[in-house]
Structure 1
Amino acid sequence: MSQLQVHIVTPEGVRFAQDAEMVTLPGVEGEMGVFANHEPLITRIVPGELVLQTGEERKVLAVGEGFVRISADRVVLLCDMALYEEEIEEAKVAEAVERAQQALRQKELGEEEQAATAALLARSLAQLKVKRRRRPA
């Protein structure tokens, strides 16, 4: 199967630079699967789960907001967060979710604080989704 060169870049640096057969992204209009020979595309991504598939190997990351540029043989993702499941501290993230939800419910935040808190909440929920994805219901 054809390979894609995949690069995931955050403000901290390159988080992933490797080939993959398929990438599943949390696009602004829903989940999007990308294979080699994809039509060129630039789009926004939202906080969520990113899956990299190579043969039997599957890597899952929680990603934040950003942009992705897709071409026939390359996927370049620029985002504000990219964490592997093992990097996520579930208890700390769950606390951050609770604090953000409380702050948003109180409605005492200014517009900028409200937007920043909502963005933090979205990134935290993406992390919890990735961390909890393999647990039985």
Structure 2
Amino acid sequence: MAEAFNFELVSPERLLVSEDVESVLVPGAEGDMTVLANHAPLITTLKPGLLDVVYAGGREARYFVKGGFAEANPTGLTVLAETAINRDDLDAEKLNQAIQDAEEDVNDAEDPIKKDKLQLRLDYLRQVKTTLGL
């Protein structure tokens, strides 16, 4: 059994995780990395991707993260994510409907600024679907 360390996952909306974990796979901007206990100090930006967590005791969870920072040190890991969604909280049917609605909104938008904002939302939803394999 690997040594446990403190892990916190924070989004603008809430604190998603604050527990002891054995490892966390972080989608860093320079490449994915696995953080274990006693990791050397490190700060990295996040790329959109999956954050895989193995909790103390073996339970696993997967989160989609987009944007933000990760800070590792010998005592723990903190991830401040622009967006963080638990994989288990996503429903493929609802996500597909949201994509369809967003596509319609983009097609119907006449104001270029509004259309750009709607396109960003559509791109984000498609990225979530692709990354999570839904």
Q: Give the structure-2-normalised TM-score.
A: 0.76
Q: 2:85 aligns with which of 77, 83, 86?
A: 83
Q: Hey, what's the Cα distance between the residues in 2 that align with 1:84 and 1:115?
A: 24
Secondary structure class of the residue paired with 1:126? helix
Q: Which amino acid aligns with 1:80?
A: E
Q: Which amino acid aligns with 1:62?
A: F
Counterpart position of 1:14: 15
Counterpart position of 2:30: 29
- Cα deviations by residue, 1:96-120 (Å, 9 ceiling, x for unpaired): 55646x95xxxx955x964884476
The answer to whether residue 39 in structure 2 is matched with residue 38 in structure 1 is: yes
RMSD, matched Cα: 3.0
Q: Hey, what's the Cα distance between the residues in 2 that align with 1:57 and 1:130?
A: 19
How many aligned residue pairs are there? 129
Q: Hey, what's the Cα distance between the residues in 1 that align with 2:53 and 2:84?
A: 13
- Structure 1 segment 69-80 matched on structure 2, within 5 A: 69-80=71-82
> Does the CA contact (< 8 Å) of 2:98 and 2:125 recur in 1?
no
Secondary structure class of the residue paired with 2:39? coil
Task: Go from structure 1 to structure 2 and tell me whether the alpha carbon gap of 1:95 and 1:41 turns closer, same or farther (over 3 Å shift).
Answer: same
Q: Hey, what's the Cα distance between the residues in 1 that align with 2:38 and 2:60?
A: 20
- Structure 1 segment 1-137 matched on structure 2, within 5 A: 1-54=2-55, 55-97=57-99, 99=102, 109=112, 114=116, 117-118=119-120, 121-122=123-124, 124-130=126-132, 132=134
> Does the CA contact (< 8 Å) of 1:5 and 1:74 recur in 2?
yes
- Gap runs ≥5 in structure 1: 133-137
> Does the CA contact (< 8 Å) of 1:67 and 1:78 recur in 2?
yes
Q: Hey, what's the Cα distance between the residues in 2 that align with 1:42 and 1:123?
A: 27
> Does the CA contact (< 8 Å) of 1:85 and 1:130 recur in 2?
yes
- Cα deviations by residue, 1:11-42 (Å, 9 ceiling, x for unpaired): 11101111111000111122111111111011
Q: Which amino acid aligns with 1:84?
A: N
Task: Go from structure 1 to structure 2 and tell me whether the alpha carbon gap of 1:123 and 1:69 turns closer, same or farther (over 3 Å shift).
Answer: farther
How many percent identity over aligned positions? 25
Task: Go from structure 1 to structure 2 and tell me whether the alpha carbon gap of 1:74 and 1:109 turns closer, same or farther (over 3 Å shift).
Answer: farther
- Gap runs ≥5 in structure 2: none
Of 79-88 and 7-16, deviating more is 79-88
